[in-house]
Amino acid sequence: MKLEGKVALITGGAQGIGRAIALALAREGAKVVVSDINLEKAEETCREIAALGQEAAAVKGNVADGKDAEGMVQKS
């Protein structure tokens, strides 16, 4: 699966399954937006993605909050 030119928005991407998915998509060439309520950990995941040579951005957000969810999509 090659994802060059695609952008992936991963919610809960700071740890666990979300983090693993973010890293896997980056390895396949996607630019990744990592969203989580823990911005510091989301930024840590982004640094790992950058070390793979891919672009990544961290966004603080809670998908249970409609405004946060809308903001995540706009920043992607």
Tell me the average confidence (pLDDT) per consecutive run of 10 residues in the chain, 76 residues long: 92 96 98 96 98 95 75 72
Domain assignment present for 2: no
Domain assignment present for 1: no
Domain assignment present for 36: yes
What is the predicted pLDDT for the residue at 65? 73
What is the predicted pLDDT for the residue at 31? 96
What is the predicted pLDDT for the residue at 24? 98
Could you tell me the pTM of the whole model? 0.88
* Three-state secondary structure of the chain: CCCCCCEEEEECCCCHHHHHHHHHHHHCCCEEEEEECCHHHHHHHHHHHHHCCCCEEEEECCCCCHHHHHHHHHHC
Print the domain residue range for 19.
7-75
